[in-house]
Amino acid sequence: MNKDFVKNKVLGSLICAATGDSIGAATENLPFWSIREKYNGELREFVAPDKSAFAYGNKKGEITDDFSQTYLLAKQIIDNNGVIDKTVVEKMLIQWSGIPHWFNRFAGPTTRFAIENIKSRYAGKGELVRNEVIDYARQATNGAAMKISPAGLFNPCNVEKAIQDACTIASVTHDNDLAIAGACATAAAIAYAFSEDATVDGLIQAAIYGAEEGEKLGSKIRVVGGPNVAERIKLAIKIAESSEAKEKKLEQIYNWVGTGLHISEAVPAALGIIKICEGDALDSTFEAINIGYDTDTVACICGSMVGALQGVNNEMFDYMSIIDQANDIDIHTLADEITNIITK
């Protein structure tokens, strides 16, 4: 594959995911209509989250758990010569847990349990006993997809391998059929996006296929109750293809599909937004930022897919500069390192 072409896709995905996470941290928890009232329409610039958001205390441009885990996971995969296995995921989680600014403020119960379990096994104390009643209810969450983009980025045009790697990554923290289906849908879409003739509709079909295959893989591990991810994607696309005005369709995604913590809301919502915005990377990312509820995660997932589809543009470099400086990271170098591995 052409190196410049690949880097363009990788960089677009990383920047849009990081932008969605960072700006979306300010709109998180707010309803669809409240965001429009609060920001005189929509928020399309970096601001510091206020007391309404989980990320209260972040400065403008700072990321949350979504992109911070994505970034560290990609670095671990690079250190492993591009090979994705359970160990790189566990190393990332341990590394992430050692960064108080991210772990203490953003780690949810599913991730905390997974990290405690990993540390217990590494210390030779064995597996922790899970509370099955709580676990079944909480683990089909969008945390499975928020960090999954490396499964697609390291497997350009290889949808099947992206699905397998997404299952490997997701199952460390979210070991059930629904969560894995959502993760595989996202990874499959990103892997497909590297095709030279990639389209929005092709991206959506790859995501549906990934969700169906991911559900099969996940059902071999653990089955939980909840809406089917592939069917929810189809619902989101049906809304997106209606004759309603753009704003009305976005509101219907918020109300009918949902934009919350459940994987069957966040991933389908992200794909519906991409379809509504006709694959425009920044427009899709910003509409996800302004969709309401779990905006940082929905926008991170959305940006990771649509950024890979469209690739980078000059405007995105301005966002990257702000995010790099605010978080002491280097997205451009990360994109170079990923590109070097997948094009060698």
Looking at residue 126, what is its pLDDT? Answer: 63
Average the pLDDT over 25-29 and give the result: 97
Number of neighbours of residue 78 by Cβ within 10 angstroms: 17
3-state secondary structure of 197: coil
The per-residue pLDDT for range 45-72, each reduced to its tens digit, is 999 999 999 999 999 999 999 999 999 9
pLDDT attached to residue 129: 53
CA distance 19 to 244: 28
34 token code pair: 């409240």
Report the alpha-carbon distance of residue 137 to residue 263 in Å, rounded: 12
Share of residues in the chain with pLDDT > 70 (%)? 96
Instruction: Report whether pLDDT(2) > 50.
Output: yes
**Tally of residues, the chain:** 344
Rounded to 5°, angle at Cα 71 from 69 and 72:
65
Phi, psi of 56 (to 5 degrees): -55, 130
Q: How far apart are CA 308 and CA 319, in angstroms?
A: 16
Number of Cβ within 10 Å of residue 313's Cβ equals 14
Q: Which two tokens stand for residue 45?
A: 């610039």
Q: What's the rounded mean pLDDT across residues 298-324? A: 98
Looking up tokens 């390192």 gives: 337
How far apart are alpha carbons 341 and 82 in whole angstroms? 6
If we measure between CA atoms, which residue out of 255, 258, 280 comes closest to residue 268? 258
Chain-wide mean pLDDT for the chain? 94
Q: Could you read off the pLDDT of 169-220 as tens digits, one per residue? A: 999 999 999 999 999 999 999 999 999 999 999 999 999 999 999 999 999 9
Contact 265, 235 (CB under 8 A): no
Place of tokens 């920044």: 282
Q: What is the per-residue pLDDT for 134?
A: 46
Answer for the pair 173, 144: CB distance below 8 angstroms, yes or no. yes
Backbone torsion region of residue 262, taken as left when φ is above 0, otherwise alpha when ψ lies between -120 and 50, otherwise beta? beta
Coil, strand, or helix at residue 141?
A: strand
The string of pLDDT tens digits covering residues 125-164 is 766 555 554 454 447 999 999 999 999 999 999 999 999 9
pLDDT of res. 133: 42
The confidence score (pLDDT) of residue 214 equals: 98
